[in-house]
Every structure is written in C-alpha cells, then in structure tokens.
Structure 1
C-alpha cells in the first residue's frame, strides 16, 4: 500500500512538474520584457526645428497610460521611455544607444524623422532590435531584404508625391511648377517621387526647385523668390513650421498659385490656423486619417473612442492638431502587434507579428483604408485620399487611391 501511494504521489508530482514546465516554456522573453512589464523606447524632437511633432510622443505616452490603466497588454504594463533628439542625427544615435544598451528596451517605436532614423537604421539591424513604425514616410523603411528589423507606418513620400504629380497632369497639364523642399532625405524622397510621377514632362513643367535647411529661422525669402519666377503651381514639401510660414507669406505678398501641400503638414491646429484660414483656401493635399475637426465624424465609434481618450488621458491636447490623432494611431498599432505576440515577447516574434497584419482597421483611419503587411512588404498603410481646404476644414474628394510602392529600395 505504501509503495502504491508513493508511486501515485510521484506520478502526480511528475505531472505537475511537466505541466508547470510546459506553462513556463510558453513564455518567451527577450531583454525588455517580463511577466509584468514591456519596455518601449521612443525618440522624438521635443525641441529644435521640428518640435511641433513633439505632441506625437505626448499622445503616445498618454495612450500607453490608458493601456496600463485598463490592465496593460496581456497583463503586462507598458514602460514608455521617450527621449528628445532635437531632430539632430548625432543626438538620435546617442539616444538609441542609451535606450538599447542602458535602458535595455525591447524595441524602439515611432522614432521621428528621415535623417534621424537613417542614422540609426544599421545599428538597430546589427543589434537585431525592432525599429518599428517609424514616423517618416521615407521609402527606405520598406526594405525587409536588407533591413529586416526596420518598418515604417505611413504612406511613403515618393508614392504620395506621385499622386500629386498625377493630379497636376490631369488638372493643369500646362503648369509652370515650383517645388519647395527640405534639403534632407525626406525632401529628396518627395522630389524624386514627384518627378517620377510627372515622367517626361518633369523637365519642362518644373521651372524651379528651391531647397531650404531646417536650421533656417524663416523661409520667407524662398517664397518671394519663387513668386518672382511666375510659377502658377507650388508643390510644398515642407514640414509644419515651414509650411505655416510659407502659407502666411504667400498671403502677405498676394501669391495665389495652385498650392499642393504634403500631408504631414495639414494640421489645422499647428499649420493652417497659425498661417490664417484666409491664406489657406483651396490648398490641395492627401490624407489617410480622419479630420478631427470634421463634424461628419461626430457619431463615428472610432472617433468617439479617440475623444474619450483625450478627455480622460490627454485633456491638454490641442484637439485640432493632426499629430495628436497620428500619435494615438501609432500607439494603437503597436498595441495591436504586442497583443498578438501573446506570451512570446521575443524581438523576432514582434517582427513576425508586425509583418503579418491583414486588413487591420484603426479608430483614426479613413473608411476603406486598412493596414496590411507581409514578410516582403513592410509598408502598413498604402492608401490616400485627396482633399481641398475650404472655409475652416478639409474636404475630401475623389476615390481612395493606392500609394503602393512601385519599386523596392536597393541600398
């Protein structure tokens, strides 16, 4: 009897050990993840020439505060560590190394800027740390063959610019075009896409290409110069601060060309209102996010959740600033991926889940626009809709257009 009882006890103990071992084996962690925490790094310009984008980081921090208040992701709280790089690539490198090597984050998320992220792309891939959902539309983020740990988020700049080119060819085929762009990777990306979109006509239609440095305090002189050339179309690839300056100066000097503006600078709160509603009439741009100022979304479930979030977790936000919804949407994307990781919070699985999205909808995306990725396509959002500024709001027109990348980067 004693022998039988002992054997039963040993069998039960063995079964318990096997079950416990199986349960623990299901949990897989890399540095930056535990049973209770997921450590996320972020780099954004809270100061410097692109400090207007700092609200993206603030919105993301607020979103993760909401996630934590609601129990976290699969029971784990988010530890969101966000550093300022002042839009300076050397500073970005310093902050990335600090996040990866000192703070030991699981991943770096939503770092902002093209030259800044370009400065850390090789480092992140050598370290095999996810460099996820970059706040930049450069085409180089969609290169899984060479950079399998880097992924963008928004439609890429070249694709967006091709859409503007096609619009001009259709609506103003004899245009005399002036292009204003930043003298950096993002500006050059826009310029290339725009010329590609115009095709053979680019050489005759573009009468001026004016670049500026982000270190310039004002670009008024560039606007005056372009007006003097008698261009009847301005394609403006400036970031928010410089977009607002250009719109305001155009109003002051009475220059009224057909004005196309990049979608990163369409915020009513940080660009249009400061530049003046009267100066902004009939500007053309494109978008993939809902306009928070548009009353048509008053009863939209997704926007109701967004506004409830602002009321409770980010009450000081400028609700008319496009960047706030942008940050919310980025954080919602990462939350979706991390939830799908379950208890396998390894860096490799994070990239696997990020590259396995299929028709994912977000609260802030326009109807018909969904996120999809696969192992050969690291571009989650590839659709846009044209819009025109009228009165005090943007009015969308036409169909949702594909901004799918036509070629893959080779560098």
Structure 2
C-alpha cells in the first residue's frame, strides 16, 4: 500500500466531508565489563546503535519523524558530553514497514555495522520478523516501538524490552474511560486484523465484559477502503468507536464516517491518535473539525501540556531537528532516546551487552513518563498504565483520568510524572 495513495484517499474523503462537517458543527549499579573487552559497537569515544523504521511506505507519514527526533536528542546529548565520555551514533535504516526488508536491514546493522544494540525498532509485524534473530544473537533489543505483548516474554526473549503501553492496556483504559464517563453509550471497535486488533479487543472486553462491545469490525492495511466496516458500525448504532488503527487508518475511518454524515465519538490507541499527523492526512480545513473531541491514550508528557520535558524537547527540536513540526511523535522519539541514554549511563563506564540488559531490568530506570516504568527481571514491559487525552481546539492534552492494569484488573490511579533533572542529560 502506498503512503501517497492512502493520503490521497483520505484527502478525497476529507474534501467530500467539508460541507457535512460544517453542518454538524462538530539504583543498584549494573555490572560493567573489562575495559579491554571487545564489545560490538563500543569504542573509546563512540557507542553505535541502530534501528529499523518506516522512512517510506504506508506508515512513514505517521512514524518517520520519531527516529529524526531521537537523533536530534542524541546530537544534543553528544554536545553535552555524551554518556561516560562517549558520543552515541544512531544508525537508522528504512524498512518501508515491510517485514522482509526489516530482516535485511537488521542483519546489516548487526553483522556489518556491528551495533551495540537495536533501539526502538518500529512495528509489530516488522519487528516480529527479527525477534528470534536478535535474541539468538544476544543483541540487546530495547524499547520496541509497538504495543504488542510479544515483547514482554523475559524467559523466551531475554534481550527484548517494549516501550509502548501495550495494546491490552490501551484497550482496557479506553473502554474503562468510556464506561466511567459515558455509561449508557453503545461501544464498538474497529481494528487491524492482526495482534494490534486482537489485543485491543482483549483489553476492551476486560473492562466491558465479554459482551461489552456491541460491534467489532476488522480491516487489513492492504485495503484502503473501510466503507463496509464503517457502514456496519453505523448500522449497529455505535456511539463510541474504539480504534486499533495506525494514523492513516484513523484518518480514513473518520473521513469515511463523515462522508456518510455520521459523527460518533472516537477513542483511539496512541498508535493512531497523533493530532498533527491526522491533520496532515485530513487537511487543515477539515481535520481540526473532525478531530475535535478525539479521545486517546498516552503515557509520556503530552504535546499540549506544560511539562518541563516538553519545554526542553521543543528547544532541542528547534536547534537540532531543523525546526521540524513538534508533536507527540517528537516527544516519543526524544523520550526513547533519553531512556536509552539513562540505561547506558547505568550500564557503567565500560558497558557490555549484558550490563546494559542488567541496567534495564534493575528496576532503577526512571524514564520521563506519567507512571513508573515496569521493567524488572520478570517484566519487560515499560508502562502498564496510560492516561486519557482529548483534543480541544487543536490542543491534545490529558484530561485527568489515568488507568493502571494489573492481573486482568483495570484501576484508576493518580499520575506521578517524572520531573526533569540534569537538563535531560542522565548522570550522577
């Protein structure tokens, strides 16, 4: 599926809905290695790491800015002394969101570039294609950019750690918020026909009960037409639609519904709820109207908030990222990069791959989220909870509702945001 054809499809729908919208008004020190030990990716002055990500293809518009933001943070970090005197070199390779290409570029990173670790490889189908390879070769596979629960299997995949709140958590949080705030509304779900959709359904049913979703519709990312699915949701009387969609298909769903003159409430996973990306798909005239009231999940500082992290990341973006659009993807990329720097600092002055793994699962990393990290020897999940965001007049920010997920139970919790320290540069 072409990114450009998907964009054209959404834009056409957006144009067709303009009139409809107008009418609707709508720390334990980690072990360190011997200074003379030959560790891949480690030199006297450099740590080389890598990532696979879609710089082209159907997911590029939603996600290509993440690695650019991470690179900008690493440039900022390097200008401020790096980690233990070493600069971080981040090699980003385009996989076009194609699992076969992911296998090729990850092997290049490991065998030819000899990276120390893979950091924030993006996508469930793409990263699944290299999961066994990385663990068999004992390459640290940190902070995967996907909410699949596959990354949280410490016994099977001891070198892999997730970063996103997983899709079960997000599905449960969105469904619980729907129950808490709109108890009488009919809740339905539209999702990808893969693990993304499966796990969002699982989470939603944990909050709503096995029969709590009035209608479930699935789609394939290879088909840009979701008119049949949207029509079925409308016919079922759905009032709140939970979305297990990437950004392009979130926009496609909203545009298709508006073309039908239907304006329900939309509750989206963080993977498909980035406001600026969605406006890019829908168009500046129609997008803000269609997206007013969009509910999403997040676990990092919100782009519309006043966190000191957001202030710092804006400064870094202006200075090191050519003034690129600042949005949730920017915060995500810089947050991942900061967490890696924190783990590398904890891994010691002469880090090894094992000391890096030990640092992550020590339980001592803080990150910069609104909830504590969940890493440990028995948990390779980053966040087991999420806050609820809404879009209001173009600003995407938290509304105060935050949920944690534990043992199949969804509970309301108070957020505990991590304060900025050391100007965003990890160290003692």
TM-score normalised according to structure 2 size: 0.81
| SS of residue paired to 1:133 | strand
CA contact (8 A) 1:159 1:405 kept: no
Distance, in Å, in 2 between the alignment partners of 1:306 and 1:274 is: 24
Deviation at 1:253, TM superposition (A): 2.4
1:66 pairs with one of 76, 79, 90: 76
CA contact (8 A) 1:373 1:379 kept: yes
Q: Does 1:277 align with 2:288?
A: yes
Residue 235 of structure 2 corresponds to: 228
Aligned residues: 373
Change (3 A) 1:404 1:85: farther
Q: Deviations over 1:177-226 (max 9, x none)?
A: 331111222222212222233223x2xx4343221222223434432342
Q: Does 1:333 align with 2:335?
A: no
Residue 22 of structure 2 corresponds to: none
| SS of residue paired to 2:224 | coil
| SS of residue paired to 2:400 | coil
Structure 1 segment 178-217 matched on structure 2, within 5 A? 178-200=188-210, 202=211, 205-217=212-224
Q: Deviations over 1:317-341 (max 9, x none)?
A: 111x311110010001001111111
Residue 143 of structure 1 corresponds to: 153
Residue 10 of structure 2 corresponds to: none
CA contact (8 A) 2:33 2:355 kept: no
Residue 363 of structure 2 corresponds to: 357
Range moving further from structure 2, 390-399 or 326-335: 390-399
Distance, in Å, in 1 between the alignment partners of 2:68 and 2:279 is: 21
Deviation at 1:236, TM superposition (A): 1.2
| SS of residue paired to 1:305 | helix
Residue 401 of structure 1 corresponds to: 403
Range moving further from structure 2, 173-182 or 86-95: 173-182
Deviation at 1:129, TM superposition (A): 0.6
Gaps of 5+ in 2: 1-31, 410-428
Range moving further from structure 2, 257-266 or 80-89: 257-266
Distance, in Å, in 2 between the alignment partners of 1:124 and 1:118 is: 10
Distance, in Å, in 2 between the alignment partners of 1:76 and 1:248 is: 48
| SS of residue paired to 2:215 | strand
Residue 39 of structure 1 corresponds to: 48
Deviation at 1:395, TM superposition (A): 4.5
1:315 pairs with one of 322, 338, 354: 322
**Structure with bigger RCO (C-alpha 8 Å, 6+ apart):** 2
2:300 pairs with one of 280, 289, 293: 289
Residue 392 of structure 1 corresponds to: 394
CA contact (8 A) 2:206 2:408 kept: no
Range moving further from structure 2, 171-180 or 274-283: 171-180
CA contact (8 A) 1:154 1:382 kept: no
Residue 15 of structure 1 corresponds to: none
